[in-house]
């Protein structure tokens, strides 16, 4: 159960995908340090300042992307629900949250095809698809290769069910409205 809070708390535990994203971020930062140390260390070779800046900028971009990728997910606080994507987020106040449902992912999404996701059903406006995803009962061998690779982004079934339960519990606690 989630504790009373004022800060945003993640609904599911850290997934293997989040760890992988963090590793890419650390490697990118280590690359920046290595490039800077080798260019400033006087190794005898002269690197152009432009090449050092370009390489460091690229690695900084990779590190930022990896950090943002690792932070994707669903968060709750006493304010509402935040669905964090790589470059943006949707925040829904508790007053606007009607319920949480499990639906098939949107057709046309190659990576999430054949999976189910938790959706935030709002009182006003369109429902919001979250990144809390799990494969349906299909065996992993029956899915396409890129879906198999993307399986690391999905939650385990017990984490998925627990996330749905935590979201519904938080909705009841903060809105005072019972199950729908």
Cβ(131)–Cβ(74) under 8 Å? yes
- Termini Cα distance of the chain: 19
Q: What is the pLDDT of residue 152?
A: 47
In a domain, residue 128? The reply is: yes
Which residues span the domain enclosing 169?
A: 73-175
pLDDT average, residue stretch 48-60: 88
Statement to judge: residues 80 and 64 lie in one domain: no
Statement to judge: residues 46 and 128 lie in one domain: no
Query: Shortest CA distance to 47 belongs to which of 58, 37, 62, 33?
Result: 37
Residue 152 or residue 112, greater confidence: 112
Statement to judge: residues 41 and 128 lie in one domain: no
Q: What is the pLDDT of residue 155?
A: 55
Last residue of a domain, one of 46, 70, 94: 70
In a domain, residue 180? The reply is: no
pLDDT average, residue stretch 46-66: 87
Q: How many domains are contained in the chain?
A: 2
pLDDT tens-place string over residues 11-36: 887 777 788 888 999 999 999 999 88
pLDDT tens-place string over residues 98-142: 999 988 776 655 555 567 788 999 999 899 988 787 766 555 555
In a domain, residue 6? The reply is: no
The domain that contains 105 carries what CATH number?
2.30.29
Residue 66 has pLDDT above 80, yes or no: yes
Statement to judge: residues 82 and 57 lie in one domain: no
């Amino acid at each position: 159960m989630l504790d009373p809070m004022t800060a945003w708390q993640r609904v599911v535990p850290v997934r293997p995908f989040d760890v992988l994203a963090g590793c890419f971020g650390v490697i990118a930062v280590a690359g920046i340090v290595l490039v800077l140390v080798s260019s400033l260390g006087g190794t005898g070779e002269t690197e152009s300042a432009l090449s050092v800046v370009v390489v460091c900028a690229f690695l900084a971009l990779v590190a930022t992307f990896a950090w943002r990728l690792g932070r994707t997910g669903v968060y709750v606080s006493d304010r509402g629900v935040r669905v964090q994507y790589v470059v943006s987020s949707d925040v829904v106040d508790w007053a606007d949250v009607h319920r949480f449902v499990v639906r098939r992912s949107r057709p046309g999404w190659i990576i999430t095809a054949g999976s189910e996701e938790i959706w935030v059903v709002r009182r006003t406006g369109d429902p919001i698809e979250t990144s809390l995803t799990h494969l349906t009962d299909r065996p992993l061998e029956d899915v396409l290769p890129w879906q198999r690779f993307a399986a690391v982004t999905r939650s385990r079934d017990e984490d998925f069910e627990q996330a749905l339960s935590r979201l519904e519990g938080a909705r009841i606690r903060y809105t005072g409205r019972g199950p729908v």
